[in-house]
Amino acid sequence: MKKFNILIIEKNALLALKRKKSIEKMGFYVLDYATNSLRAKEILENNNVHLILMDINLGEE
């Protein structure tokens, strides 16, 4: 099976970590998580991300 890089974007770091662990338990690889749009942009610029799971209400910046 091909490895897909998953990025989680969630303003709540604890919730992001819980989601990361849940996804990894299902056998998927979570590349990283970001708690704000600046960090998400940095990750996207430096990695090949296949799937983004995102909180659409970041309410920041």
The domain containing residue 40 runs over which residues? 5-18+29-54
Tell me the pLDDT tens digit for each residue of 32-43. Answer: 999 999 999 999
Which residue stretches of the chain have pLDDT < 50? none
DSSP code of 49?
-
The pLDDT assigned to 2 comes to 64
Residue 59 lies in a domain: no
The pLDDT assigned to 1 comes to 53
Residue 12 lies in a domain: yes
- Enclosing H/E stretch for 46: helix 37-46
Residue 40 lies in a domain: yes
51 phi and psi angles, rounded to 5 deg:
-145, 135
Q: Is the pTM of this model over 0.95?
A: no
Tally of domains in the chain: 1
The pLDDT assigned to 13 comes to 95
What share of the chain in percent tops pLDDT 70?
90
